[in-house]
Structure 1
């Protein structure tokens, strides 16, 4: 294994001390830097040339990538993806300089290794709970549980406080996307059963409300062959006695009041009930 492979295996950005512990000499590190096979973000650190810019910047500033930025890196749902990078630092590390980043100065729930440039998932969720609205945070928490990045029973044994405790009480480990979280949490007050990803007539539907009301969310993939298949399934659902409401992704995220009004009227007419 080359020294570059060693660094890449360690995430792309590592402390030189770690390389020395793995048997690489200071001379081999200097040679790799001189040949531009490695770069030095900061004294005591090296990175491969194509390392994640967030990790390089974290090593340079002496922080860890955390909160919504690390949530995005983990493939979790974040509604507003235009935010500046979020990083975390110990509350007494006054020398940290993270330009153009939002720095969270907080004690971590799980101790951070001094060589880390990304935060532990438990710390990420704790900061998300503080940083975002309850719904936006829930949209991050539930997919993290669904992906088994952490388990609910483990989170309950940690000293979370404030909004994080409320999230622990409400979060479900079975919601695989932010859309499901938005939809179910915003309609919970109706008191009607809502089943995400229900299997009907050989296909999954996005949501089944009660026994007969189907909600389908049309996104960018509902074109061509996919659109044709959706139309055929829609017709089959109607023949089986289901009522189908189709809404667009942008309606759900940006114009929720329109979606809610449609569903309220459908429920008021009893379209969700078994005939």
Structure 2
């Protein structure tokens, strides 16, 4: 495994001992630093160049990175990169463009200048738009790193009502960010939704809406020729089995959710009117 891949699998940064266990000697590490492939953050800690800015700045100013800025360190799902550095309270002076958060109340990252996962998620729930914090929490909870109940207990009282409300949309399992977002939008539209339903002759589908409409959310892998052929077969089997099917890609779910929901509602309305009945 290339040294960059090792770092990427560690959230963008790793200790020397981790790199050595992966087969990269001190000489190889030094050559990668000299070539600009990786960056030495401090003695014994290395990073990918695109992560070095935030982590390096935190180290220089003895700050702890949190919220969406800490997502790469924990390999959490995100919708977009942070446009500013988010740090926990306790850093004496803020830097231009820095977003300050509340106190760090839980054990911090063992070797990076990053707040603990619990604080990162709590700060995200208070700071970010609903969907951006939701995908971070979903990723952490379904991996088993933290539980929804734990986070809910950490967010008591009326002042935390908005943050707790986000937790209501966390599901036991989501195979992608697209599923998390689509589920949120369907529930907000008042639709009855079942996830990961096994249909005879089709297999498992992402969503079964109002028990008559199958909705699939397609990531980049669904554009591969083999997957396109498989999806076509599944679509045909869905219709043969007596249900309709709609498919939505990344652009639909992330950038045009209103249009996606409108199309789902339109098909359901036509179905209620008997538009798809035999003639």
- Into which bin does the TM-score normalised by the smaller protein fall? 0.7 to 0.9
Look up the match of 1:15. Answer: none
The secondary structure found in structure 2 opposite 1:125 is helix
Look up the match of 2:230. Answer: 229
Please point out which of 94, 103, 109 is paired with 1:107. Answer: 103
The secondary structure found in structure 2 opposite 1:264 is helix
**1:81-120 to 2 correspondence within 5 Å?**
81=81, 83-91=82-90, 93-95=91-93, 97=95, 102-112=98-108, 116-120=112-116
**1:1-275 to 2 correspondence within 5 Å?**
7-9=15-17, 46-50=43-47, 53=52, 54-81=54-81, 83-91=82-90, 93-95=91-93, 97=95, 102-112=98-108, 116-159=112-155, 161-162=159-160, 163-200=162-199, 201-221=201-221, 222-270=223-271
- Alignment RMSD (CA, Å): 3.4
Most deviating of 261-270 and 166-175: 166-175
Q: CA deviation at 1:176?
A: 4.4
Distance in structure 2 (CA, Å) of the matches to 1:11 and 1:86:
27
The secondary structure found in structure 1 opposite 2:43 is strand
Q: Kindly indicate whether the alpha-carbon contact (under 8 Å) linking 1:234 and 1:244 is maintained by their aligned counterparts in 2.
A: yes
Q: Kindly indicate whether the alpha-carbon contact (under 8 Å) linking 1:219 and 1:248 is maintained by their aligned counterparts in 2.
A: yes
User: Paired residues, what number?
Assistant: 239
Structure 1: 5+ residue stretches without partners? 1-5, 13-32
Distance in structure 2 (CA, Å) of the matches to 1:114 and 1:77:
21
Q: Kindly indicate whether the alpha-carbon contact (under 8 Å) linking 1:68 and 1:128 is maintained by their aligned counterparts in 2.
A: yes
TM-score (ref. length: structure 2): 0.71
The secondary structure found in structure 1 opposite 2:247 is strand
Most deviating of 117-126 and 101-110: 101-110
